[in-house]
Amino acid sequence: MASSLPVLIMLVNWSVYLTLFFVKRNQNTLYSGFQSSLMLLYSIHPYIVKAGVALISCKTIESDTLWLTADVSMECWKSDHVFYVLTLFLPMFLLYILGIPMAILISVTRLRKGEKQTLVTFFTAGYRHVVGIWEVVVSMRKTLLILVLGLLGSSESVIQIISAMVVLYLFLEWHIRAAPFVRDFHNKLEAYSIFLQLVLTGFSFYFIPSLHIRDVILIIISFAILILVLGFILTSLGILLAQIVVSRKKQMTVAPALVASTSTPIRVVSPPPPSNNSSILLLIQGDGSQDNIVRQ
């Protein structure tokens, strides 16, 4: 189902837009279909990555034998499993896991400076022009996290947690150095969100069964995680509402100023023609007076 989902979505999407094109005979409809295709593929990409990684995610159960996590009745890297890897995972990895970000990267790189830059506004809006492909970096971060958690399923939980924290730390450092957003508070908010993921991933150490942490401590940590998540959500909503209020106040203060500045007409007085032996430099004031005349 996951391997056929992008194909089905593209068929439905282009069926609608091609029908509209034949009805309206407007070329912009095809451009809208292309834009919709990129947005849909970007939206389902994390699900496709998770479904693809499930085909190679194995774990050990009561022995040294690896069993497929999605179907524990199938032994990993045997004839049936290798068949699924070759016929499903490899095509999904090349066409979807790598292909979708590459298609978005090529489209954004080619269209963001041309006449059709509005087609990729979904991926460039709010970002500085030099890093207009940052959504691909975000997609890369999600993909690496899913790959780490999936491919290391047969290893100890400590290795999974440390690997995920390393990925989050590297992308946090990259984000801080790049500062991709135009507005500073967007950069800070994204940095806080990645840092929160890093902290929550660190809390996972306490839930490893082999550590035998007491239930009371686990309950306290669970409430701490809940408070952190709710605090981040409420802070994000508060910043968003504050920015909306500030932007509206700026619009209300700028509009009257523009009306006042354009209400008084400016009279332009033509200077008299200069004589043959002199040239006149007129410094004309806003009210049209000719107070300062310098003759040479």
Strand ranges (DSSP E) for 69-115? none
Whether the per-residue pLDDT at 291 is higher than 90: the answer is: no
Q: What percent of the chain has pLDDT over 90?
A: 16
Whether the per-residue pLDDT at 242 is higher than 90: the answer is: no
Residue 284: predicted pLDDT: 40
Looking at per-residue pLDDT, the higher value among 290 and 137 belongs to 137
- Per-residue pLDDT band for 153 (boundaries 50, 70, 90) equals low
Looking at per-residue pLDDT, the higher value among 206 and 287 belongs to 206
Average pLDDT over residues 52-67: 82
Of 181-190, 192-201, 261-270, where does mean pLDDT reach its minimum? Answer: 261-270
8 A C-beta contact, residue 219 and residue 211: no
Looking at per-residue pLDDT, the higher value among 168 and 246 belongs to 168
Neighbouring C-alpha atoms within 13 Å toward the C-beta of 47: 11
Whether the per-residue pLDDT at 154 is higher than 70: the answer is: no
Average pLDDT over residues 271-286: 46
pTM: 0.71
Average pLDDT over residues 216-230: 81
Q: Which of 149, 178, 180 is nearest to 162 (CA)?
A: 149
- Per-residue pLDDT band for 183 (boundaries 50, 70, 90) equals confident
Question: Count of CB atoms within 10 A of residue 112's CB?
Answer: 18
Q: Which of 11, 87, 15, 89 is nearest to 56 (CA)?
A: 89
Residue 175: predicted pLDDT: 93
For residues 194 and 187, give the distance between their C-alpha atoms in angstroms, rounded to a whole number: 11
For residues 166 and 210, give the distance between their C-alpha atoms in angstroms, rounded to a whole number: 22
Average pLDDT over residues 234-254: 77
Looking at per-residue pLDDT, the higher value among 247 and 67 belongs to 67
Looking at per-residue pLDDT, the higher value among 228 and 194 belongs to 194
Average pLDDT over residues 182-204: 88
Residue 230: predicted pLDDT: 85
Tens digits of residue pLDDT in 97-119? 999 999 988 888 888 777 788 88
Residue 208: predicted pLDDT: 76
Q: What percent of the chain has pLDDT over 70?
A: 82
For residues 143 and 84, give the distance between their C-alpha atoms in angstroms, rounded to a whole number: 21
Average pLDDT over residues 179-185: 88
DSSP tally for the chain: helices H, then strands E: 10, 4
- Per-residue pLDDT band for 176 (boundaries 50, 70, 90) equals very high
